[in-house]
Structure 1
Amino acid sequence: MKIAIIHEDQRLTATLTDTPAARHFAELLPLALTLTDYAATEKVADLPATLPTQGSPKGMDPSVGDLTYYAPWGNLAIFYRDFGYANGLISLGRIEGGLGFLERPGPIAVRFERLPTE
């Protein structure tokens, strides 16, 4: 499934993984969140619901552009810098192309929306 991450008149596209956590995230859409910087590595925001983690790997080593769920804190994390392995980090999908506005410092108000299927 493809989703859009929208900030003002700019749009990024991401492809979600076919996992229970990513499917549940998609059910929350449309969703407006304010992403804030964390550790000069990722943009994070609290989610309005806990995502399922059963069947997910115990953690992952995220890359730039990964859309993830950090289960211990229940938040969304989008990586704009490389990071090492983290327990409790679950892949939700990946942003296609550049990160655009996500690389800007400070909080960013965004909207996540499902894109029509082809």
Structure 2
Amino acid sequence: MAQERIRISSDWGEVTAELADNKAASALADMLPLNIEMSDHLRQEKTGRLPSGLPDLPRQQDFSAGTLGLWSSGDFVIYYRDGRVPRPGIVVLGQVTGDVSIFDRPGPIALRIERVD
């Protein structure tokens, strides 16, 4: 898969991201465009439910600000701080190339995720 780019937009601003070269990221791209209600979790990430699950792949526990991840098969995550998650870890879906700090505020947010032409 070529480096597919996506746009993540909200009332707080927008960023672009490059999707990872894996089956889960490809399945996410096939769902686009999407609107997802995201909640703040642990003041390090925004999380929301996808309409259906993505393939499970090898996971990692460390993440950096801007990592797009998959917690369970249907839980989409945007990390806006560096950190580490407990086992089993996350499937990495991609990396934000813009300023992910726009999500670093408490409260829920509605996101629109779509392909970049």
TM-score by length of 1: 0.87
* Matching residue's letter, 2:113: F
Gaps of 5+ in 1: none
- Structure 1 counterpart SS, 2:112: strand
- Which residue number corresponds to residue 112 of structure 2? 111
Aligned residues: 113
What is aligned with 1:78? 78
1:1-118 to 2 correspondence within 5 Å?
1-8=4-11, 10-53=13-56, 56-71=57-72, 74-86=74-86, 87-116=88-117
Structure 2 unaligned residues grouped into runs of 5+? none
- Rate the CA distance shift 1:9–1:71 in 2: closer, same or farther, 3 A: closer
Runs of 4+ in 1 over 3 A off after TM superposition: none
Q: Percent identity?
A: 37
Q: Deviation of residue 81 (structure 1)?
A: 1.5
TM-score by length of 2: 0.88
